[in-house]
Amino acid sequence: MPKEVARTLPAVLYRDPMVYETERRNVFGHSWLFLGHESQLANTGDYIALTIAGYPLMAVRGKGGVIRAFHNVCRHRAGPLVEDGTGACGENIICRYHGWRYALDGRLASARDFGPATSFDPREYGLFMLRCEAWHGFLFATMDANVEPLAETVAPLERAVSAMNIERFAFSHQSTHEIDCNWKTYVENYLEGYHIADVHPGLNLAIDATHYEVKIEPPVVFHSAPPRGNASVAGLWGWLWPCLGINVYADGIMMERISPVGHGQTQLNYLYFFARDLSESDVRRSIESSEATTREDIWITQAVQRNLDAGIYDTGCLSPRHEEGVGWFQGRIRDALNKI
Ligand code: FES
Ligand SMILES: [Fe+2]
């Protein structure tokens, strides 16, 4: 019996704003989302804020060193709290609309001119708290109270990196790219090595893409390919549902978050961590080679998206040899879209 070739998802799922709205709720609203690293929050009051799939999120280090995550939204009239990025908010998180002040544990500390003579009870207006857990210092949050603990979600990754002593890597650089494509277009490109020979001439010299392998251990997909000669790119390429690449090399680790911004826009955030004793020139070389590969991926995914938008192509097919990871991802998307 010949192996069945799977069909791809229809193109409309990559361009329809209503599909994106469903994905926001059903995928991003129920997954662990990568925020950053604990070391970016060295002191009390330090925060990271970011927007993923339209959800404004923040994590802040409170008194006693505890890191908590909240929606970056004021409970008064939905004003903005801290700006996206990293920073320090001191002892209080202060809304930029009317100045409500929240303690670092999320309790409302003061609401100007809401006097004691009213029925107002500040205990009802604490920040919307999210579950926040860490894995090797990497912070994740989820909006779903019932999602399994982070340790269970990342168990396949933990098995893969447990002997690699990744704590020796320290946060070094961050970079951001805006891409004109649906987030799934970029994820799917990440999930296969079939395109390496055609799209990444540099990477193709460093690894033997003919022996590229994909291994699925839900919710993680692993990729591997043997290095050519003494190239240093070989390592562990992992990907965690729904939108995080985790690339571990001999001298560093690179977290790659693929954040949807809208149905046709995606933001790529790289966080680079390197061995503390790695030379500046090796750090630069490593970042440059990663950014070169990224430019090629951006070029191809934007071209694919234009064709998905054009209304000519509807569905295609997946290589059983190379695109199993894409097929698994598309299956999860199908499930998520069928959920009420
Ligand atoms: S919306 Fe935040 S204080 Fe008014
Ligand atoms: Fe690529």
Three-class secondary structure assignment of 221-262: EEEECCECCCCCCCCEEEEECCCEEEEEECCEEEEEEEEEEE
Residue (of 242, 243, 269) closest to 254 by Cα position? 269
Distance 146 CA to ligand 1 centre (A): 29
pLDDT in tens, 155-169: 999 999 988 889 999
Backbone angles phi, psi at 192, to 5 degrees: -140, 150
Give all strands (DSSP E) within the chain, no chain letters. Answer: 33-37, 46-52, 55-61, 67-71, 85-88, 92-94, 101-103, 108-110, 129-135, 138-142, 169-179, 213-217, 220-224, 236-240, 244-249, 252-262, 265-275
Asked if pLDDT for residue 234 goes beyond 70, the answer is no
Query: pLDDT value at position 226?
Result: 84
**Residues near ligand 1 with C-beta < 6 Å?**
74, 76-79, 95, 97-100
Distance 131 CA to ligand 1 centre (A): 23
Share of the chain above pLDDT 90, in %: 85
Taking CA atoms only, the protein residue closest to ligand 1 atom 4 is: 98
Distance 76 CA to ligand 2 centre (A): 44
Please compute the mean of the pLDDT values over residues 120-128 and round it to a whole number: 94
Q: Which two tokens stand for residue 130?
A: 């999210």
Distance 78 CA to ligand 2 centre (A): 39
Query: pLDDT value at position 231?
Result: 61
Residue 191's contacts (CB-CB under 8 Å, 6 or more residues apart) are 214, 221, 223, 239, 323, 325, 326, 329
Listed residues: CB within 5 A of ion ligand 2: 297
Mean pLDDT of the chain: 94
* Higher-confidence position of 181 and 230: 181
Asked if pLDDT for residue 288 goes beyond 70, the answer is yes
* Ligand number, closest to the Cα atom of 77: 1
Tell me the best of 74, 94, 108, 112 to mutate to test the pocket of ligand 1, counting ligand atoms within 8 Å of each CB and taking the most: 74
Ligand 1 atom at minimal distance to the Cα of residue 95:
2
Asked if residues 118 and 18 have their Cβ atoms less than 8 Å apart, the reply is no
